Structure 1
Amino acid sequence: MKKISEAERSVQKLAELKEQAIVLDESLNECFKKNKEAFEKYMPHILSDFKDFEFNQNLFFISKSGNLNILHTSENAPLYGDDPVKDSKKQVEFF
């Protein structure tokens, strides 16, 4: 029975992560679209540098804490630790 309960919790956690990923994907795409529109209006010379840019689906993932994290491609490891929000705030404070 214990293993079944653990398996059920794991399945529930995966379902939650999937839902978070869907919501995050939608919000990031909307944000990117709005940013492109703003650059088109206010800084069209910058837009030309990345107007055809497409995100690499393999660069972004949901961390254990449920936050967005980025793959550091040359290291093939997460850019931030288990809590990317906390880590990025520390990074900003450093500068």
Structure 2
Amino acid sequence: VSLLLMGLSTAVVGVLPGFAEWGWWAPVALVVLRVCQGLGLGGEWGGAALLVAENAPAGRRGRYGAYLQLGPTTGFVLANGIFLVLQLWLDEAAFRSWGW
């Protein structure tokens, strides 16, 4: 259920109409979908931690468990870094049309 919640929420975010089409309902829908993504992530976190801890080699459980914590953080940093590079590299018209 949590994987389905995460997957469907992410897919709907990808096809969500913008403010011009839906008005204020677009940001409201986006916030609701992001909350659903967070619930899906929370549902999977415990299972992922258990899977990592049970399958890690002896003496390496802490290191393997750290990878679980580093995954989302690394993704957030990389996504924001790419966004910053695009914002600095593109002119305003290109950034508004496709860069964001």
More helix by percentage: 2
More strand by percentage: 1
Q: Which one scores higher on RCO, CA 8 angstroms, separation ≥ 6?
A: 2
Q: Could you tell me the TM-score, scaled by structure 1's length?
A: 0.46
Q: Could you tell me the TM-score, scaled by structure 2's length?
A: 0.44
